[in-house]
Structure 1
């Protein structure tokens, strides 16, 4: 059998479901002819062609989704099952899904509408689905103390499937979880006592014999990177992928609880690294600029080691700490950083550039995700390629996995959740959206598998130092920073200092936002990126983006939703140190909220190829309030995966009476008509396309505009 060809046929609607239908054309060699015989005759005459209709569930009720776990022929739809089990929590619950599967199994057992063999195949598919569910997502059934869902499954199989693999597995899982819960309860007090004894032991001056605790500057960079990577590996491998889903991660108004606990743990560790960057640099206010510069250089060297380890999470945390306002405003300190280290810092910061949807970071993850060593560098880098080359030729080099910056995936999943509706016509669950979310979750699972390559021993001296660091909150960090270098100082910087500050600003062009949750129980820092903005995505119905100042370093905060900007912490505005020193007050205080609006538009491509295939493919693009038409066109071309000169294309918004063509120099944010769906078409420029007008004063209410309709 040769590779099939596919053609979109259209949509098929039935009660409770919408299917996307493709025609699959398959060709077979004539079964009665050998290859030798066929070579002597006309090959075409001995080929048989068959066109098969293939349906993919686009949207449906929950009951239809359960039915689709098996194909029409009763075979297990493995791809569908994987997508469903990974994403069902966004539209249902474990109990509801389990009840529907068990009810369908009973209905099939008592049904006489299907022939016996087909009916048994469907039942087998449901049994396999339940086994996959138990193996891949055991946490769904961990609801102590009664474990009601798992107990229900165990009792069901005991009655209807006694002695089956599923019955044995369900019983084993139930007993195991009950034992684990009993052990957890009985050892809780013992753990508390143990921790207290450990604390007393570590505080004793005689407890470590001749082993003195580390001092920050004395810790080898390789040891530091290994220990951070060891901690990050445990947390990343423990991330439950579906907890990263936008509708789970952003579940603020309904209360998150433990729904994203594994992600929160990773966020806390990220914040812990970033806070320690600030603390170690700021806590001693009596240091000279050259001495404080040594601390910055130390963190830059640690960041380089992390790059060699392919640990992008702690690497990002260090860069974010160095980019925070309390550190980045220290002009004299940055001026004392030697040139080579400042350049190395720029190269490391460039990895997380916002340009082209964090293209550098995404390319590195794609190229190095499952590779043994770090092996790529930016074209403009000068220092990193040398280190990478030494690593490549070293025969004793250790193979590493990859620890990604989780915020990249959280951003993608939040974008999908924001841009694509949960339901379609008649309230049917949009399963196409779940497929897109699953693609991102699959990337996380792939990197989690690669992380098994890390094998690093625990260093108790490092852990003692780590726990001993005095962690500062934003307000205190800003106060110490201003004490080190007072605001509004009239002292003139040297020429060399000016050069170093200019170089440092390259890495500080964008500072990550600090988000806070409305849960009330936590408020800490997580530096979170998105496609087009310098502030996190809001999942509220409004487009307001605010960031609230954190007041405690011991709690956690989650990206997306309601963040405000304050002048005492990390800057989300990308202002230069000079502007900060002129505009900020002597005492750190929250500045007025900055609420940059954004839109998510959908762009399709007009081409003969798309028309022939009958496909109208849209790509979602996040649009900030400073986007020009050429920039949006470039993004659309990248999203659709084709190259060319953006100036050769035009962008038009679909309106009820025709189209509105946008001039090349237009600010798209103010030009579009928000009273209708934000659907756009990208097409090659035609004669006369440049004769368009746009509202001249975009500062006014953007709902009132001049438009040229091209019909």
Structure 2
């Protein structure tokens, strides 16, 4: 193929060369003619020169002709080679066709051999398959036999285990019963039967209670939690640790029990529970802490099972999470650095909070009031007119009322108003009065003074109407949960909030009670300070919507605060104001009062609290009232020095229920403006509020 292509290429080149030579010859002849004519050859010398030139051109033509002849001869030789190449090509094609036929025959033969081999292999595989099927059947039969044997063995083992367990339980129960009978005969323990018919300790000596606490045969988590919460009422922490150490020394070290016995682990787990949940006992008592560390260090087998993370940095490392929970301090509510509000005899002038809107309460004194379309136009201190848009009520806002049946209007219920607008928490704070001053908490004080010569701007006082009631409810709930979550279980013990040193024994309970009284005075003041009748009705209605939002947030303490304000003598007598409200607000008002009614020991409110999903803030007065009643139920120490432990168990159940609601908080974004408005509000005193109430609705003579 390459020769053929080369030959064709050569022929083409030869043709081109011939064409070029012929063309050059013609051009040379034409030039010669032109030269003769142009030269005008007339003489011999000129003709000879011209002939010489012609001879030269002829020589060149001859050379070109020779070249052409050579090229033609070369072309002919290449044509012969091309013919020979074509012949060879046809022979190669013939040979290939013959070889292809031979190859196809060979492939067919190979394919036939392969098919025969596959058939033989298939026969062998079929035989192997039959053999495997037989083996599988045999294996299944063996498996069935093994399973039957295993099932029988399991049944036998279960019977043996059940028998051993029953025997062990009976043995432990008989030993426990004999021990209980012995203790009861000795007068160290008194038993009663609970609703399920099980024996329960009614009273016992402290030593027997600790023995029961570390007894592996009668583990009771409720007993453990109740004892560890209330033991401080009848014994010291040092005495408890000493009794536990004695239990370990006598029954584990000196007795027959080793450090792998259930009794040993019960003692260790009791210590762990105490450390994990009541670390304050050790943190506040250096001697007790050193005794605990010494006990653990002297007994290696104890330190192996008490995790090092439960100890403080002075010994071993305390668990960070436990430390944060146990050492949590009450929230420090830091007041703003503004000039505090001042009030004297109901005068609202002075250095007050600055705002861009106009107070609804100042409308009657500073400008004209137009309540059409829910807007009020009033004059401001700068002489400019500003607009305050009131909240527009819709039926949907009142659709989610408390789950209580509506009652008649409050004027017909016969409910007796409280003697003052002080929120009562159980019987503990009955008759107590808290001065209505702006809410303050321990924290850094503002010692800075305004610069001399710089006049402070006089701003109007913010009122309840300046904010959305839903947002006020959110911020009040945020504040109250911060106060609620830090109340410690120990503050409920032994009616600590009623003692002379209650601020030391129950600081957080006292703080939330003071806050509740501040909220009650604030709400009362907001209503009676509205001299305009329509605005006063509006505040009353907005306050009911505010209460409804508190209910949606499960802030039952806040609902109780609002009800205490509405039932105070200063508000209860405003019958015209209440009667002017829309019927849906009257219905909401009655349902709220029924929800927080103290009938049947707050039965309705208790049910609402128990059915609500956390987060929630219960009314602490319910639990304080239960504990006050329980305190009068039987003696703490019975005859023979027995601890009336069933009473303490009941006390612990109330406190632990209260504690469960502290574990889940709210996801509310704090708004400092609204929180400062509530905290910094300077309410009226009871006498001042009643005078303003009489001014709102004078007493008929």
Name the TM-score, length of structure 2 as normaliser.
0.52
Residues 193, 481 of structure 1: CA spacing in aligned structure 2 closer, same or farther, 3 A cutoff? closer
Secondary structure at the counterpart of residue 202 of structure 2: strand
Structure 2 residue runs of 5 or longer lacking an equivalent are 1-161, 335-440
Q: Does the 8 Å contact 1:244/1:410 carry over to 2?
A: yes
State the match for 2:140 in structure 1: none
Please list the CA deviations of residues 636-687 of structure 1 after superposition, one character each: whole Å capped at 9, or x if unmatched. xxxxxxxxxxxxxxxxxxxxxxxxxxxxxxxxxxxxxxxxxxxxxxxxxxxx
Q: Distance in 1 between matches of 2:698 and 2:215?
A: 70
Please list the CA deviations of residues 367-411 of structure 1 after superposition, one character each: whole Å capped at 9, or x if unmatched. 22x3xxxxxxxxxxxxxxxxxxxxxxxxxxxxx622111111111
Structure (1 or 2) with the greater helix fraction? 2
Q: Distance in 2 between matches of 1:174 and 1:292?
A: 61
Q: CA deviation at 1:318?
A: 0.7
Q: Distance in 2 between matches of 1:79 and 1:322?
A: 41
Structure 1 residue runs of 5 or longer lacking an equivalent are 26-52, 371-399, 491-711
- The structure with the largest alpha-carbon Rg is 2
State the match for 1:65 in structure 2: 209
State the match for 1:305 in structure 2: 549
Q: CA deviation at 1:170?
A: 5.1
Q: Distance in 1 between matches of 2:597 and 2:195?
A: 42
Please list the CA deviations of residues 277-324 of structure 1 after superposition, one character each: whole Å capped at 9, or x if unmatched. 11222345xx12222222222211100111111110001101101111
State the match for 2:538 in structure 1: 294
Q: CA deviation at 1:214?
A: 5.3
Secondary structure at the counterpart of residue 189 of structure 2: strand
State the match for 2:154 in structure 1: none
Residues 170, 199 of structure 1: CA spacing in aligned structure 2 closer, same or farther, 3 A cutoff? farther
Give yes or no for the alignment of 1:447 onto 2:676.
no
Give yes or no for the alignment of 1:340 onto 2:581.
no
Q: Does the 8 Å contact 1:311/1:402 carry over to 2?
A: yes
State the match for 2:483 in structure 1: 235
Residues 222, 21 of structure 1: CA spacing in aligned structure 2 closer, same or farther, 3 A cutoff? closer
Q: CA deviation at 1:171?
A: 3.2
State the match for 2:238 in structure 1: 95
Secondary structure at the counterpart of residue 601 of structure 2: helix
State the match for 1:121 in structure 2: 262
1:132 pairs, out of 248, 273, 277, with 273
Q: Distance in 1 between matches of 2:503 and 2:546?
A: 35
Q: CA deviation at 1:57?
A: 2.5
State the match for 2:412 in structure 1: none
Q: Does the 8 Å contact 1:416/1:437 carry over to 2?
A: yes
State the match for 1:171 in structure 2: 311
RMSD of aligned residue pairs (Cα, Å): 4.3
Q: Distance in 2 between matches of 1:238 and 1:264?
A: 12
Q: Does the 8 Å contact 2:526/2:539 carry over to 1?
A: yes
Give yes or no for the alignment of 1:468 onto 2:680.
yes
State the match for 1:321 in structure 2: 565
1:568-579 equivalences under 5 Å are: none
Please list the CA deviations of residues 393-437 of structure 1 after superposition, one character each: whole Å capped at 9, or x if unmatched. xxxxxxx62211111111112212212321233230011112222
Please list the CA deviations of residues 456-498 of structure 1 after superposition, one character each: whole Å capped at 9, or x if unmatched. 11101112212331123323323333344444x23xxxxxxxx
1:507-522 equivalences under 5 Å are: none
1:416-565 equivalences under 5 Å are: 416-449=630-663, 451-452=664-665, 454-487=666-699, 489-490=700-701
Q: Distance in 1 between matches of 2:674 and 2:640?
A: 58
Give yes or no for the alignment of 1:366 onto 2:610.
yes
Q: Which has the higher contact order (CA 8 A, sep 6+)?
A: 2
Q: CA deviation at 1:228?
A: 1.1
After superposing the two structures, state which structure 1 stretch, 75-84 or 170-179, moved more: 170-179
Residues 107, 251 of structure 1: CA spacing in aligned structure 2 closer, same or farther, 3 A cutoff? farther
Q: Distance in 1 between matches of 2:464 and 2:592?
A: 21
- Give the length in aligned residue pairs: 410
Q: CA deviation at 1:275?
A: 1.5
1:176-325 equivalences under 5 Å are: 195-196=445-446, 215-245=463-493, 247-249=494-496, 251-252=498-499, 255-283=501-529, 287-325=531-569
Residues 296, 23 of structure 1: CA spacing in aligned structure 2 closer, same or farther, 3 A cutoff? closer
Q: Does the 8 Å contact 1:281/1:295 carry over to 2?
A: yes
Q: Distance in 2 between matches of 1:430 and 1:111?
A: 32
Q: CA deviation at 1:15?
A: 3.2
Q: Does the 8 Å contact 2:495/2:627 carry over to 1?
A: no
Q: CA deviation at 1:361?
A: 0.9
Q: Does the 8 Å contact 1:239/1:263 carry over to 2?
A: yes
Give yes or no for the alignment of 1:17 onto 2:231.
no
